[in-house]
A and B are shown apart, each in its own frame.
Chain A
Amino acid sequence: MTEASAVNDPGIAFRTIPTAVSDYAGEVDKLYYALLGLSGLLIVILVALVVIFGWRYREDRSGERLPLLGKRTGHYVEIGFAVLLALLFLGIFAWGSQLYLALYGESRADMTINVVGKQWMWKIQHPDGTREINTLHVPAGETIRLRIISQDVIHSFSLPGLRLKRDAVPGQYTSAVFTPEKVGEYRLFCAEYCGTSHSRMRGKLVVLSSADYQAWLTRNGQGPGPVAAGRQLFESYGCSGCHQGKASVRAPGLDGVYGRTVPLADGRTVKADEAYLRDSIMLPQKHVVAGYAPIMPSFSGQIGEGEILQIVAYLKSLEPGEWQTDNSTGARP
């Protein structure tokens, strides 16, 4: 069957342990080896016991049967084994949890790259607005946060070289943090079944040196950066009409809103992060600001996830008080 788009795999060989692209990947491999070692040991012991017992106590062997282990001894063996194994397991559990928190936790990043999954491609947006499809270019040595979302069904952004995987879920952002170190090309897969061309939703991770990455951005950057793009969208979708205009409609001013603690109509307060800004566009009545009527229309189904990310970038760039203050809007803390 011929399919429309050709798939762009990196030309690398199969490795049972893929090249570790980051130090984190190397740490995960260490845990994997520990698990292999522990499992191997347990399997060897089991097989040895079965073989030894199977041979020594086979039916046609002559002689009286020796008595069974006493009940007390038996209990000691069982409980001893269980406790020992449980302790080993707890050690592995702690190790794995600690690495997990490093990958998904709220750690500091040098830059954020946006990833939007849709049937059946990955759309990637760099901080300066450069876009690419099914390939992710990153600079070595810098800590990168991926902000991931889906436009339709659940996908999963998988980078085996980094031992990284994160589901792309419609309606909510997910994230993961990594620091690539080894320059080269590696695999990129969609790892959550998402329909007909799930297996074609794959491509490349390209790790470049910092300088090469900048050069690549310059060569490939098209159009305005996300902040400028976001400003254009803010106007073309009519947001500025209520939020920035001197209209009869009262809407909260948005200059400096990002990061602020916003008081809501129901008495709660919420921190204005990216998720809050996205919800305010898509489900505006979810967090109605105190002192304002719930009259903002929803833009769900009208604005794509990529555009939302650009508008959010624009809003993040605004300083408090940047807009003129004579429009009597703005909820200041």
Chain B
Amino acid sequence: MSASAEPAHYLTGGWSLRGWLLTLDHKRIAWLYAISITGFFFLGGIAALLIRLELLTPAGDLLSSEAYNRLFSLHGIVMVWFFLIPSIPATLGNFLLPMMVGARDMAFPRLNLLSWYIYTLGGLFTMVAVIAGGVDTGWTFYTPYSTLFANSAVLAAATGVFVVGFSSILTGINFIVTTHTMRVPGQTWLRLPLFVWANYATALIMVLATPVLSITLLLIALERTLGIGIFDPALGGDPLLFQHLFWFYSHPAVYIMILPAMGVISEIIACFSRNPVFGYTGMVLSIMAIALFGFLVWGHHMFVSGQSLYAGILFSLFSFLVAVPSAIKTLNWTATMFRGRIVYTAPMIYALSFLGLFVIGGLTGVFLASLAVDVHLHDTYFVTAHFHYIMVGGAVTAYLGGLHFWWPKLTGRLYPALWSKVAALALFIGFNLTFYPQFLLGYGGMPRRYHEYPEAFELLHVMSTLGTGVLAIGYLMPLVYLAWSLRYGERAPANPWHAKGLEWLAPSPPPVDNFVTTPTVTEAPYAYR
């Protein structure tokens, strides 16, 4: 296939290093992110694999305690900050947001490129910590262990994450401004696709929450380097203050991870049900409610910590309330299928998979919001299962679904349908095999972050580890056939799914300026009927 047969688009012309590393095109920046993110994902995945291998047997026979503790810390840091937080916004968001509002690029293309450099260099710097032996505080860096007791590369890890935080902030600023100021005529707020609303709300959280993480990490770094600490009980300091500051960011952070995923699902389900999203206004209100309420629940990570009982009760109440908008969204996604015309493509299978897994993850969150039950489940494998259902079963599934949905637009290629559906199913099955047993381990008492455990817990751990084999297939398959499609896949038309949305008006792949002529918007979103 000769390149001269196809019209010029953002991928033709400029395969030089300069054309990529100094690009200002949001679409190319999205690819830069995709490459870094995939690399970090597999790094975090290898750590997970080693963890599950160790946990095949009750004894700590594969790794030393030190090595194990550094591995689960690495897994958390890489997966939370170098994969989940940037994943959908920095790849799909970067590529699609300007197109969905009809613009030629983001409001601040140079800041966009800068954010990628900060992310990649910050991530690589954190690898310095790994090479220096690793960090063993967990991704949560609780004091006083992290400030006064840990003998590991806490400073390097905290610095790396601090640096990467700026990437989040810049992305957030770009998204907010682009959504506000760069919509084309006719593209009013209530005609925006839910993917845009979701990324906009995510950007608001990124901008407001990340700085609190920054100051918290800075305080840890200062205590470790200059000995200037505010969490030391010997000085009248309070270790719990760290937890409040840390979770004030880290709880909204999980909404940074899930809101874009919810945006993706809305787009996919509407398209493959051939229906408008049920309850568009309710969806928008739910997105904003989740972003707002997400800032009010951080103390639910501290129910057993010794914080005030009445604070605990308030945090529990808000945690129940924040579940309601998510439930409304789940209802609305399901109702979108009502009287639809459903097509079972790979993206649709990922989306339906998301529904099942997200609902389990979300409902188990309600278990954890219930104070007395949380006391029993806190710091057990129940919590681990809960957040993996949402983060992997939810966010990663949606990320893969989105990749599969927009792949023709991003690359101008189609991928083999059968393999993609098999991969989607392998993910769903492997995921459940790996993580469902962990709910049972949790109520049975199995604590988190345990290198070795009582023999009685072995069977469920073995089941969980075996599940990772199937799960890994679900991750590796797309890597293979999507890469294959870049060269050998059938060329995609502009709108292979007959989807609505401005991005589908552009050719596949789009030209550098996104559209041949600037679109105008005259109809409601999801005008499938």
* A–B: direct contact at CB < 8 Å: yes
Q: Which residues of A contact B (CB under 8 A)?
A: 1, 3, 9, 12-18, 27-28, 31-32, 35, 38-39, 42-43, 46-47, 49-50, 53-54, 57-59, 61, 65-69, 74-75, 77-78, 81-82, 85-86, 89-90, 92-93, 95-97, 99-101, 103-105, 119, 152-154, 156, 158, 160-161, 163-167, 169-172, 174, 187, 189-200, 202, 283, 286, 300-301
The 7 closest A-B pairs by CB, nearest first: A171-B233, A160-B445, A99-B372, A96-B370, A100-B371, A14-B456, A199-B450
Q: Are A68 and B275 in contact (CB under 8 A)?
A: yes
A and B contact pairs by CB, cutoff 8 A, 8 listed: A18-B443, A81-B331, A97-B313, A105-B309, A154-B144, A160-B444, A166-B306, A192-B142
Which of B238, B312, B454, B460 has the largest count of A CB atoms less than 10 A from its CB?
Answer: B454
What is the total number of residues of chain B having a CB less than 8 Å from a CB of chain A?
95
Residues of B within 8 A of A15 (CB): 444
Residues of B within 8 A of A77 (CB): 331, 335
Q: Is B518 an interface residue (CB 8 A)?
A: no
New A-B pairs, 19, CB < 8 Å, besides A78-B331, A165-B375? A14-B460, A15-B444, A39-B367, A43-B360, A50-B356, A69-B338, A96-B369, A100-B371, A154-B142, A154-B239, A160-B445, A164-B375, A165-B378, A166-B304, A171-B233, A193-B69, A195-B150, A200-B452, A283-B236
Residues of A within 8 A of B317 (CB): 93
Please tell me which stretch of B58-66, B80-88, B197-205, B478-486 contacts chain A, meaning at least 4 of its Cβ atoms lie within 8 angstroms of it.
B58-66
Q: Which residue of A lies closest to B236 (CB)?
A: A283
Residues of B within 8 A of A50 (CB): 334, 337, 352, 355-356
Q: Are B443 and A32 in contact (CB under 8 A)?
A: yes
A159 to chain B, nearest CB (A): 9
B381 to chain A, nearest CB (A): 11
Q: Which residue of B lies closest to A171 (CB)?
A: B233
Q: Are A99 and B371 in contact (CB under 8 A)?
A: yes
Residues of A within 8 A of B323 (CB): 89
A227 to chain B, nearest CB (A): 27
Q: Are A74 and B279 in contact (CB under 8 A)?
A: yes
Q: Which residue of B lies closest to A192 (CB)?
A: B379
Q: Are B309 and A53 in contact (CB under 8 A)?
A: no
0/1 per residue, B252-287, Cβ < 8 Å to A? 000000000000000000000101101100100000
Q: Are A16 and B150 in contact (CB under 8 A)?
A: no
If the complex has contacts A82-B324, A169-B239, A199-B60, are A193 and B138 also in contact, measured as CB distance less than 8 A? yes
If the complex has contacts A96-B371, A163-B376, A193-B138, are A53 and B337 also in contact, measured as CB distance less than 8 A? yes
Q: Are B379 and A156 in contact (CB under 8 A)?
A: yes
Q: Which residue of B lies closest to A95 (CB)?
A: B370
Q: Which residue of B lies closest to A172 (CB)?
A: B306
Interchain CA distance A172-B307 in the complex, whole Å: 11
Interchain CA distance A198-B313 in the complex, whole Å: 29
Residues of B within 8 A of A82 (CB): 324, 327-328
Q: Which residue of A lies closest to B62 (CB)?
A: A1
Interchain CA distance A16-B373 in the complex, whole Å: 14
Q: Is B459 an interface residue (CB 8 A)?
A: yes
Q: Are B363 and A43 in contact (CB under 8 A)?
A: yes
0/1 per residue, B459-498, Cβ < 8 Å to A? 1100000000000000000000000000000000000000
If the complex has contacts A53-B340, A65-B339, are A35 and B373 also in contact, measured as CB distance less than 8 A? yes
Q: Which residue of A lies closest to B455 (CB)?
A: A9
Q: Are B234 and A17 in contact (CB under 8 A)?
A: no
Q: Are A100 and B443 in contact (CB under 8 A)?
A: no
* Residue in contact with B338 in the complex, picked from A39, A57, A192, CB distance below 8 Å: A57
A95 to chain B, nearest CB (A): 7
Q: Is B457 an interface residue (CB 8 A)?
A: yes
Residues of A within 8 A of B306 (CB): 166-167, 169, 172, 174
Q: Are A47 and B356 in contact (CB under 8 A)?
A: yes
If the complex has contacts A92-B370, A100-B372, A199-B453, are A67 and B142 also in contact, measured as CB distance less than 8 A? no
Q: Is B447 an interface residue (CB 8 A)?
A: yes
Interchain CA distance A197-B327 in the complex, whole Å: 41
